């Protein structure tokens, strides 16, 4: 009996000692690198990241995660040289949004405290990483975007790209109420709360989705100036269909993530027309200008019914969104 009691005590002590020893490290970082045909730059970037992070005392542990988005060159082979780098592969080129989504999902599933997304083309300056990570580490922000336009763009960016960036930056400032200065910097950091809240459903893009889902979740957003260099290898191009797809994407995000704001606004327009027309007709009737209280019956009923339908649709979608958010956060 004494031996059994002693054995149980030893077992209890060893189990709890193991738990104490295996306490999860704080500030574990996942560096997400979407890559498509980046054989000439991916190795340089990985070396630069190792050089920076191995002497960066604010992070206890880190993993570099490369998402090879169906490259047809030697990108995957060049990543394979580094045994500690985690390589996730897509069987075909799905798009930057899909690659970012894969990296975020992997990071959330493996309980990283912080994520850093960076492009593989060497346009971002490694020396800016501390400025981007620091607000997250200090608990001042949940998501931090780089800001090229308050920093330094070290090449002549095409005017059409500047105009596009300016348009989408102003648009995202309007729909999110964040003080967005650069909506598409290509580099950002987020914490664990960000990982649980962010939603990237489109394959071709991610920045608008990241910003808007962060806003809906009530995350604290900030931006820091960064340097942005010219791309030396490969090419970056934007299809003419991009602006239309992006605007549609933002509209879809607003409908799915904040349906009452969208449908409530549209409902208010139709109900205002219905009510305004009714009041206008009643004034004319009591002034003796018309023979009927409401002359434009079809307009009043039509806009009124559409307004009510939009309002009920917003309420239903908002309820569904609340249930989805509860399930996501609960489980």
Q: pLDDT of 239-292, one tens digit each?
A: 556 666 666 666 666 666 667 777 787 888 999 999 999 999 899 888 888 888
Return the CATH architecture of domain 25-246.
Answer: Alpha-Beta Complex (3.90)
Nearest to 226, CA basis, from 194, 184, 190: 184
Nearest to 236, CA basis, from 31, 36, 23, 26: 36
pLDDT averaged per 10 residues, the chain (length 331): 40 37 65 96 97 93 97 96 96 94 96 97 96 97 96 87 87 88 95 92 84 91 95 64 63 67 83 92 87 86 89 79 61 54
| Strand 61-69 with 86-90, pairing | parallel
Kind and range of the H or E run holding 11: helix 2-21
Rounded-to-integer distance, Cα 269 and Cα 262, Å: 11
The label of the residue with tokens 């910003």 reads: 211
Nearest to 35, CA basis, from 84, 81, 83, 74: 74
Q: Where are the domains of the chain?
A: 25-246, 259-330
| Strand 114-117 with 188-191, pairing | antiparallel
* Phi-psi label, residue 111: left if phi above 0, alpha if psi -120 to 50, beta otherwise: left
The whole model's pTM is what?
0.71
3-state SS, residue 271: helix
The label of the residue with tokens 């004034």 reads: 283
Q: What is the model's pLDDT at position 312? A: 82
Distance of CA 168 to the CA centre of its chain: 15
Q: What is the model's pLDDT at position 24? A: 45
């Amino acid at each position: 009996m004494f031996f059994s009691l002693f054995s149980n005590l030893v077992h209890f002590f060893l189990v709890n000692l193991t738990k104490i020893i295996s306490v999860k490290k704080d500030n574990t970082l996942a560096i997400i690198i979407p890559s498509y045909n980046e054989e000439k730059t991916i190795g340089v970037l990985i070396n630069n990241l190792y050089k920076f992070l191995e002497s960066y005392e604010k992070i206890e542990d880190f993993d570099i995660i490369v998402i090879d988005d169906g490259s047809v060159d030697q990108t995957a082979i060049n990543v394979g040289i580094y045994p500690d780098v985690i390589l996730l592969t897509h069987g075909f080129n799905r798009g930057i949004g899909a690659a970012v989504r894969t990296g975020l999902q992997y990071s959330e599933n493996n309980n990283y405290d912080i994520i850093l997304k960076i492009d593989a083309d060497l346009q971002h300056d490694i020396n800016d990483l501390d400025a981007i990570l620091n607000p997250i580490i200090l608990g001042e922000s949940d998501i931090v975007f780089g800001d090229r336009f308050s920093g330094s763009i070290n090449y002549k960016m095409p005017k059409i790209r500047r105009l596009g960036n300016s348009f989408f930056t102003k648009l995202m400032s309007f729909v999110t109420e964040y003080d967005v200065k650069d909506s598409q910097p290509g580099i950002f950091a987020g914490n664990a709360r960000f990982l649980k809240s962010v939603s990237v459903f489109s394959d071709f893009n991610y920045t608008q989705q990241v910003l808007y889902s962060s806003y809906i979740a009530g995350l604290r957003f900030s931006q820091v100036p960064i340097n942005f260099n010219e791309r030396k290898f490969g090419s970056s191009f934007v299809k003419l269909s991009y602006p239309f797809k992006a605007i549609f994407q933002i509209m879809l995000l607003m409908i799915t993530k904040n349906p009452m704001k969208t449908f409530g606004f549209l409902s208010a327009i139709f109900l205002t027309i219905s009510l305004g027309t009714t009041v206008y007709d009643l004034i004319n009737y009591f002034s003796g200008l018309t023979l009927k209280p409401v002359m434009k019956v079809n307009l009043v009923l039509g806009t009124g019914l559409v307004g009510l339908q939009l309002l009920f649709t917003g309420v239903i979608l908002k309820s569904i969104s609340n249930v989805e958010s509860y399930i996501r956060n609960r489980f």
